[in-house]
Amino acid sequence: MGAYFVTATGTDIGKTFVSACLLRHWRAAGLTPDAFKPLVSGIDPDDPTGSDPAALIDAMGLELTAESLDRVSPWRFAAPLAPNMAARKEGRLVPYSAMLSACRRRIADAAGPLLIEGVGGVMAPVDDGRTVLDWMAELGLPAILVAGTYLGTISHILTAVEVVRARQQHVAALVLSETPGGTVPPADTVAALRPFLGDALPILHLPRLPAGCYTHMAVTELASVLSS
């Protein structure tokens, strides 16, 4: 079991929920998973409760402390904007080289499966000249692509897969994280995608789960895909 980069077709799609589900599944299987979301924006510096880093920390069975927060998400910005824009509001810059070095150290030190989670979507800016895709290409990890089930998601998915593959990056799995109020049946979305994506790319549908529930057969299947 290696390291994977969790990305998405856009923001607020479900990256962190998918990551949290995998982390809990791996822990239940007796593994020691780790998660690293080095860049976070839109986080309250005085109360990170309920944030993405807090969800990842909880999924790893850890307490939310200053130390665990720094370990999972060392570069945090308050404004709910792309990292470069959020950093600029605080008179800061995104330390791209230092972030890459930190990611590489985590990959080298991983004692179990590792998830490195990006920000926003595949083409979201990270600093003023690079996107999440550039970050992914630098690390060269297999990608877990998370998408919604809303009307229009097919175009967003095909665009994301196209640009990722154009950079010679491997998409290990596509996870359809069910969009609240979505009007398109996920099975119809999968059927529409198949002629374009082929049969080799695993596509899994993760429905909305009750609050506090992270267990579903799609998570088990995703973990199996990643271990094969």
Please tell me whether 129 is known to bind a ligand: no
State the DSSP code for 156. Answer: H
| 1 pLDDT above the threshold of 80 | no
Tell how far CA 172 is from the center of its chain: 13
Q: Can you tell me whether residue 204 is helix, strand or coil?
A: strand
Give bridge partners of residue 175 from the DSSP assignment: 146, 204
**Per-residue pLDDT tens for 109-141?**
999 999 999 999 999 999 999 999 999 999 999
Please tell me whether 17 is known to bind a ligand: yes
Query: Domain residues of the chain, as ranges?
Result: 3-140+152-169
**Per-residue pLDDT tens for 156-214?**
999 999 999 999 999 999 999 999 888 889 999 999 999 999 999 999 999 988 888 88
List the one residue out of 148, 106, 150, 129 whose CA is nearest residue 5.
106
Residue 210: predicted pLDDT: 86
**Ranges assigned E (strand) in 153-201:** 171-177
Q: Can you tell me whether residue 65 is helix, strand or coil?
A: coil
CA–CA distance, 43 with 141 (Å, rounded to integer): 26
Q: Confirm if 82 and 88 have CB atoms less than 8 A apart.
A: no
Q: Confirm if 140 and 147 have CB atoms less than 8 A apart.
A: no
Q: First CA to last CA across the chain, in angstroms? A: 9
Share of the chain above pLDDT 90, in %: 93
List 24, 25, 37, 106, catalytic entry:
37
Q: Confirm if 139 and 103 have CB atoms less than 8 A apart.
A: yes
Place of tokens 């990959």: 107
Q: Is 37 a catalytic residue?
A: yes
Main-chain dihedrals φ then ψ at residue 67, nearest 5 degrees: -70, -45
Residue 14 confidence class, pLDDT cut points 50, 70, 90: very high
Please tell me whether 117 is known to bind a ligand: yes
Q: What is the largest CA-CA distance in the chain?
A: 48
Please tell me whether 43 is known to bind a ligand: no
**Per-residue pLDDT tens for 38-64?**
999 999 999 999 999 999 999 999 999
Give bridge partners of residue 204 from the DSSP assignment: 175
Q: Of the CATH numbers 3.30.70.20, 3.40.50.2000, 3.40.50.300, 3.40.718.10, which one belongs to the domain with range 3-140+152-169?
A: 3.40.50.300
CA–CA distance, 144 with 117 (Å, rounded to integer): 9
